[in-house]
Amino acid sequence: MVSLSQLTLRLAEPLLPLGRHIPFTLQRLLLEQLMARWLAEPLAAGDFDLLQGRCLRLVIEDLGLAWNLTRGRLGLQLSEHGQADVCIRGNWRAFLLLASRQEDPDTLFFRRRLVIEGDTELGLAIKNLLDSLDPDNLPPRLWHSLQSLGRAAAGFDLDQGALNPQR
């Protein structure tokens, strides 16, 4: 039987690529506000200062989405273009598994489902920072949804894009 989370993923999959058609200005406004809210504690503690004057490019290859992320004086800031010090790229399911902690980050990178290019030292520091963030700082409903969707994504074979009955 298909769970609600699995059904949600199946229904969302053809719609997610449409996100690339949302103007970057709207993406930036939404994402910067969400990061400021959800990452307020680690930002205030200086955890993201490693991005001060540096640039991380996040690329969700199968959705055609990419953002440059840096730490500015007003917090985390996104830009559409520019030279990145490090790039982390992968498909949306791999990023969901990372965000929901359903898959160990080292495993995702070792299996090349997520790839770090450029300044690997900075990339590894960012990976470790993200892994150290306390999910209890997220709104409970968001964290619960991420976990449910992550469990459903973990049931998919990332290489085949099909439900994996072994999980």
Span 90-112, pLDDT tens digits? 999 999 999 999 998 889 999 99
CB of 17 within 8 A of CB of 64?
Answer: yes
Predicted TM-score (pTM) of this structure: 0.84
Going from the C-alpha of 42 to that of each of 99, 111, 127, 142, the distances in angstroms are: 16, 29, 14, 18
The answer regarding whether domain 4-159 maps to CATH 3.30.1050.10 reads: yes
**Which of the residue ranges 7-16, 25-34, 103-112, 120-129 would you say has the lowest mean pLDDT?**
7-16
